[in-house]
Amino acid sequence: MEYFKYLDLAVKIAREVGDFLHSHLTDQQKEVNYKGAIDLVTRWDLEAQAMIISRLQENFPHHEILAEEEKVRQQNAAGNYRWIIDPLDGTTNYAHSYPVFCVSLALEIKGEIVLGVIYDPNFRECFTALQGQGAWCNNHPIKVSPVNELDKSLLATGFPYDVRESEVNNIDHFVNFLRRAQAIRRCGSAAIDLCYVACGRFDGFWELKLNPWDVAAGALIVEEAGGKVSDFSGDKLNIYGREIVASNGLIHEEMIQVLKLGKRP
């Protein structure tokens, strides 16, 4: 399958960039700039993104690139191939030298995500997936958990950057799930949360007001590991939408019912 040639390069890029970021994790001065009250970007976000874009354009000059810190970049793009990248998912963690962050790359072809790579340099774990081919962590197959009851489930979530201003801020969903699940974790990286659902460390994940670069690679990895992803209504996930639910599939409907109790974006 031709996608494997893209996968090999994406893994190489993700590892290179992730290890670069890790080498600067404990730098005391990270030159933090604020895009919003609690939404920030560091010098290393921008340098990591430049590295990824350079590598992709060198190898695939006709592919589009959708990137967090620069929105859309393209060079004679034909429009059928689009890389969706997040050079540093977990920027707030990184700015505080908290070792929970990753690099995420996904390849979209004619509107379908066919490849996903997420590299966590702190644990040196590289999660990958190819459409219809399965999901792996460091080349070992992974699958979702067998937990089939919400009250025995470990869930993960996050909160949007406008949590101080908007009433649609996930706090209501968090409280509702807190009363139903075994426990909830808040790691600060949606991409890592999705990988942990895929490999069975979490049983489910939900979040709102995310962007395509936050979920594109992780959603595919969950699906290829045997899990399920959707919007809050249980309908097909749109990575360009504003909400995501990911689970092992067994607790998905229970999660949807809980989400119906709260506010919608």
Q: 30 pLDDT band (50/70/90 cuts)?
A: low
The model's pLDDT over 79-106, given as tens digits with 9 standing for 90+, comes to 689 999 999 999 999 999 999 999 999 9
CATH of the domain at 195: 3.40.190.80
115 and 204 fall within a common domain: no
71 and 92 fall within a common domain: yes
The residue-averaged pLDDT of 181-205 equals: 98
15 and 100 fall within a common domain: yes
- Choose the final residue of a domain: 81, 109, 141: 141
Domain-embedded: residue 29: yes
202 and 119 fall within a common domain: no
pLDDT of residue 161: 77
Highest-scoring range by mean pLDDT, 21-30, 44-53, 77-86, 198-207: 198-207
The model's pLDDT over 198-220, given as tens digits with 9 standing for 90+, comes to 999 999 999 999 999 999 999 99
201 and 124 fall within a common domain: no
231 and 107 fall within a common domain: no
pLDDT of residue 264: 60
CATH of the domain at 73: 3.30.540.10
Beta-strand pair 64-67/81-89: parallel
**Where in the sequence is the domain holding 164, given as residue range(s)?**
150-259
107 and 164 fall within a common domain: no
- State pTM to two decimals: 0.93
Domain-embedded: residue 264: no
pLDDT of residue 27: 81
Q: Are 237 and 230 in contact (CB under 8 A)?
A: yes
176 and 119 fall within a common domain: no
- Choose the final residue of a domain: 141, 175, 201: 141
The model's pLDDT over 117-151, given as tens digits with 9 standing for 90+, comes to 999 999 999 999 999 999 999 999 999 999 999 99
The residue-averaged pLDDT of 175-190 equals: 97
pLDDT of residue 43: 84
Q: Give which of 78, 84, 85 is closest to 61, Cα–Cα.
A: 78
Q: How many domains does the chain fold into?
A: 2
156 and 135 fall within a common domain: no
The long-range contacts involving 18-21, CB below 8 angstroms and separated by at least 24 positions, are 18/102, 18/103, 18/119, 18/120, 18/121, 19/121, 20/44, 20/47, 20/48, 20/51, 21/48, 21/88, 21/94, 21/101, 21/103, 21/121
The model's pLDDT over 207-263, given as tens digits with 9 standing for 90+, comes to 999 999 999 999 999 999 999 999 999 999 999 999 999 999 999 999 999 999 986
Higher pLDDT, 44 or 238: 238
Q: 35 pLDDT band (50/70/90 cuts)?
A: low
Q: Is the pLDDT of residue 36 over 60?
A: no
Domain-embedded: residue 121: yes
Domain-embedded: residue 158: yes
pLDDT of residue 13: 98
- Choose the final residue of a domain: 141, 170, 185: 141
